[in-house]
């Protein structure tokens, strides 16, 4: 017989998602910079304040710190009966990656999209973002479309 040993369970991260507010502007500025879109705190505050009603800005908090950002936009294509949820930004703080933060954010955003009547969630992701491709595939997204860009 082995002596009885205390079993220590490893808990999942206690990260949770919540809507962003103006006080999150410094964290959002840092996260947008990490996503590759540098901007000022003032710009972030202005964008939060004047965003369209169909935009949901969600942050992930872990141990009191904002460590992730997801932005959901709802669009209403003429050719579809239901609105479509579009994930226009997703980023986890560089030193908090691989801890389930984006998974928590995505679950929250998907719930909000469903609540708004959407039946699908789509996104575009640059070809060079290999980590993100692996993440989306792991979370059940399929590659379905090509996207095209042209400056105006």
Ligand X SMILES: CC(C)(COP(=O)(O)OP(=O)(O)OC[C@H]1O[C@@H](n2cnc3c(N)ncnc32)[C@H](O)[C@@H]1OP(=O)(O)O)[C@@H](O)C(=O)NCCC(=O)NCCS
What is the Cα gyration radius of the chain? 18
Minimum Å distance from CB 69 to ligand X? 9
**Residue in 48, 107, 116, 125 binding ligand X, rule: CB under 6 A:** 125
Minimum Å distance from CB 114 to ligand X? 19
**CA distances (Å), origin 31, targets 6, 26, 96, 111:** 40, 9, 12, 22
**Residue in 30, 56, 103, 112 binding ligand X, rule: CB under 6 A:** 103
Q: Is the CB of 37 or the CB of 42 nearer to ligand X?
A: 37
Q: Is the CB of 76 or the CB of 129 nearer to ligand X?
A: 129
d(CA 101, CA 97): 7
Residues 62-91 that bind ligand X (CB under 6 A): 90-91
For 120, left (φ over 0), alpha (ψ -120 to 50), or beta?
beta
35 binds ligand X (CB under 6 A): yes
Q: What is the crossing angle of helices 41-49 and 25-35, to 10°? A: 110
107 binds ligand X (CB under 6 A): no
**Residue in 17, 101, 110, 118 binding ligand X, rule: CB under 6 A:** 101
**Residue in 56, 62, 73, 99 binding ligand X, rule: CB under 6 A:** 99
29 binds ligand X (CB under 6 A): no
133 with 125: CB under 8 angstroms?
yes
**Tokens at residue 123, please?**
């996104």
Residue 1 per-residue DSSP state: -
Pairing of strands 65-75, 55-62: antiparallel
13 binds ligand X (CB under 6 A): no
Residues in the site for ligand X, rule: CB under 6 A? 35, 90-92, 97-103, 125, 129, 131-132, 134-135, 138
């Amino acid at each position: 017989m082995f002596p009885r040993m205390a079993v220590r369970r490893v808990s999942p991260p206690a990260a949770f998602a919540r809507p962003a507010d103006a006080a999150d502007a410094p964290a959002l500025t840092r996260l947008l910079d990490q996503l590759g879109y540098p901007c000022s705190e003032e710009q972030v505050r202005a964008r939060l304040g004047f965003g369209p009603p169909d935009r949901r800005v969600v942050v992930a908090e872990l141990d009191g710190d904002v460590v992730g950002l997801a932005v959901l936009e709802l669009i209403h294509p003429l050719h579809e009966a239901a609105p479509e949820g579009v994930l226009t930004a997703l980023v986890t703080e560089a030193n908090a990656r691989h801890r389930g933060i984006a998974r928590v954010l995505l679950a929250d955003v998907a719930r909000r999209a469903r609540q708004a009547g959407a039946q699908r969630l789509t996104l575009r992701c640059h070809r060079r973002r290999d980590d993100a491709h692996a993440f989306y595939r792991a979370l059940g997204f399929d590659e379905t479309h090509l996207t095209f860009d042209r400056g105006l």
